[in-house]
Amino acid sequence: MIGRLLTIAACAGVLAVSGSPAKGESLSPTVDHEGRDTVEELERPAPVSRAAADGAFLPMTLTPRVGGTAAVAASYGGYDSARGAVMESYGEVTLWGLLALRGTAGLGDGSHRIRPSVAGRVQVLSQRRHGLDGALSIAYRAEGFTEAEGEIETVVALSRKIAGAMAIVNLAYGQDPEGRERDGEVRAAVLGSLSRRVQLGVDGRWRFDLGSDEAVRRASHELVTDLDIGPVAAITLGPLAEGL
């Protein structure tokens, strides 16, 4: 059974704060002899714009890039014909270097309950050095706020930027600690920057069962397979988009 994502709302709220500069960058703004910011510093995108261009606000596909901003937060919602209302809110902070910690609360699986999760992501490949960005993420998704059982999910994320466009691919595998529920996901997104404030693209996800116990799958109302795909847009406006 395939459920198509009928509508998906734009981010209800996004926030990003500046992170540590990349290796080789100055810790303070570059100024000329009269004490004014140089053109290079003035043209540097604001934190929210940088995060959006890196794919940080995509609803389904996980960006491998870490450290562009010190922290991001976002929330979105919509409707899935197979699962009903869908929602996800998350916050992520860069702990050290290329290691990030993310906390999420999401609604959209067969249980019809809000499920919290916590994940760690480390970027292991850099396009500047290796030709593409790559990261490994490990997450624990609980059944609910009061239930101890849940799912461990591992995601390999890869991306490459070419001339203002970014392509991202995720391969995900999840199972419960007992191994009775197993599923996989293939996620992909293409994002292009029309300007520093506007990004447009397509985001999609294919989820499929990998031999879960039939009784457990039926009890949790999980689908054998489903596909979500649709257009995405990120437009950074307002005082938060100017950076904190």
pTM over 0.95: no
| Buried/exposed 164-189: b ≥16 CB within 10 Å, e otherwise | eebbbbbebebbbeeeebbbebebbb
Q: Which residues contact 78 (CB under 8 A, 6 or more apart)?
A: 5, 6, 7, 8, 9, 59, 85, 86, 87
- Provide DSSP, 49-95: HHHHHTTTT-SSSPP---SSEEEEEEEEEEEETTTEEEEEEEEEEEE
What pLDDT is recorded for position 8? Answer: 38
In the chain, DSSP assigns E strands to 5-8, 13-18, 69-80, 84-96, 99-107, 115-125, 133-142, 150-162, 165-175, 182-193, 198-209, 225-235
CB distance 186 to 171 below 8 Å: yes
Residue 90 CB coordination number (10 Å): 18
Full set of structural domains in the chain with CATH? 5-22+36-242 (2.40.160)
What pLDDT is recorded for position 218? Answer: 62
Q: What is the pLDDT along the chain (244 residues), one digit of tens a residue?
A: 334 333 333 333 444 444 444 443 433 344 444 433 344 444 556 778 888 889 999 989 999 999 888 898 888 887 777 667 788 899 999 998 899 999 999 887 666 778 899 999 999 999 999 999 999 999 998 876 666 678 899 999 999 999 889 999 999 999 988 777 888 999 999 999 888 889 999 999 998 888 766 665 566 656 678 888 999 998 887 666 655 4
Residue from 18, 20, 22 nearest 126 by CA = 22
What pLDDT is recorded for position 69? Answer: 85
Torsion of CA 231, 57, 139, 70, to 10 degrees: 160
What pLDDT is recorded for position 111? Answer: 60
HSE value, Cβ hemisphere, 13 Å, CA-based, for 217: 17
What is the 8-class DSSP label of residue 41?
H
